[in-house]
């Protein structure tokens, strides 16, 4: 028996009344379900690194999943994301008769709603305690001094070519809540390509360098912005929505406060 429900992008999904086998094509969703019901996961991508001891069948990458391998696992539900996964792959899974639940997250409130719906509707799990804890953690920062003192920033997420956070991104919303003003928040694109010369002339007080999707490090990234304050931050805490949201405010505040000229 199945129930019909709409996922985050409004597509109808026939969800089994009892869910016992799930494939996740998104690292943050893999971590999310593993924190609630690890026994449900039977497949995940090679990029799903949390939890570290996750022992499931690997089904390729987020952009190139092995559709045949996923179908062979006979999942009750496949978890995906509108940005992380490609439409042709999701269509192929649907054509094979699988229930595909797609998440869509552009800001923190959407993340909390999306996670709750995915867990309770698509995965048939109770609302987890860590979700309440995560919401509480972010409410507590409302009265705190901004972690970055209201500094104007550019936030590269890739190099060769350089790409930055633009408008309507989850990571941008988290940074805004921590007092970081993204200079490209009003850009027409969500992840615009920007020449380095333009970034250097943008007038940023701070350059925020996450370690994913591009792995910026102390020796790879700050040297491109000589004389600028740079903050190396955890990409998992900045871009993932799941259990990491519980500790994300404290982790990111600490990393932003440690910004310095390198």
What distance in Å separates the CA atoms of residue 147 and residue 177, rounded to the nearest whole number?
9
In this prediction, residue 238 has a pLDDT band, given cuts at 50, 70 and 90, of very high
% of the chain with per-residue pLDDT over 90: 92
Q: What are the tens digits of pLDDT across the range 147-202? A: 556 789 999 999 999 999 999 999 999 999 999 999 999 999 999 999 999 999 99
pLDDT of residue 146: 61
Q: Does residue 245 surpass a pLDDT of 80?
A: yes
Q: What are the tens digits of pLDDT across the range 44-56? A: 999 999 999 999 9
137 SS3 class: helix
Q: How far from the centroid of its chain's Cα atoms is residue 167's Cα?
A: 15
Closest by Cα among 62, 65, 67, 59 to 43: 59
Query: Could you tell me the domains of the chain?
Result: 2-127 (3.40.50.1980), 152-261 (3.40.50.1980)
Range 71-108 burial, b when 16+ CB lie within 10 A, else e? bebebbbbbbbebbbeeebbebbeeeebbbbbbebbbb
pLDDT of residue 3: 81
What distance in Å separates the CA atoms of residue 205 and residue 153, rounded to the nearest whole number?
6
Go through the chain and tell me how many residues it has: 262
Compute the mean pLDDT over every residue in the chain, rounded to the nearest whole number. Answer: 95
In this prediction, residue 145 has a pLDDT band, given cuts at 50, 70 and 90, of low
Q: Across the strands, what pairs with 207?
A: 154, 230
**DSSP one-letter string for 220-258:** BSGGGSTTSEEEEE-HHHHH--SGGGGTHHHHHHHHHHT
Q: What are the tens digits of pLDDT across the range 1-53? A: 678 999 999 999 999 999 999 999 999 999 999 999 999 999 999 999 999 99
> What global pTM score does this model have?
0.92
Q: How far from the centroid of its chain's Cα atoms is residue 259's Cα?
A: 23
């Amino acid at each position: 028996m199945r129930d019909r429900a709409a996922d985050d992008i409004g597509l109808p999904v026939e969800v089994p009344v009892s869910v016992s086998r799930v494939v996740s094509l998104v690292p943050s969703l893999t971590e999310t379900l593993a924190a609630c019901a690890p026994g449900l996961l039977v497949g995940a991508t090679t990029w799903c690194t949390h939890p570290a001891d996750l022992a499931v069948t690997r089904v390729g990458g987020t952009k190139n999943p092995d559709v045949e391998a996923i179908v062979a696992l006979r999942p009750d539900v496949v978890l995906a994301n509108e940005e992380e996964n490609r439409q042709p792959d999701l269509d192929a899974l649907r054509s094979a008769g699988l229930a595909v639940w797609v998440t869509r997250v552009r800001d923190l409130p959407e993340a909390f709603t999306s996670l709750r719906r995915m867990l309770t509707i698509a995965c048939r799990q109770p609302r987890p305690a860590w979700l309440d804890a995560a919401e509480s953690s972010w409410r507590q920062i409302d009265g705190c001094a901004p972690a970055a003192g209201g500094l104007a920033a550019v936030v590269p997420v890739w190099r060769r070519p350089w790409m930055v956070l633009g408008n309507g991104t989850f990571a941008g919303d988290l940074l805004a809540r921590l007092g970081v003003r993204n200079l490209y928040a009003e850009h027409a694109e969500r992840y615009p390509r920007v020449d380095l010369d333009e970034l250097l002339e943008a007038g940023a007080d701070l350059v925020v360098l996450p370690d994913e999707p591009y792995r910026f490090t102390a020796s790879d990234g700050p040297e491109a912005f000589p004389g600028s304050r740079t903050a190396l931050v955890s990409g998992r805490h900045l871009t993932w929505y799941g259990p990491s949201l519980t500790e994300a405010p404290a982790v990111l505040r600490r990393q932003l406060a440690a910004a310095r000229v390198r």
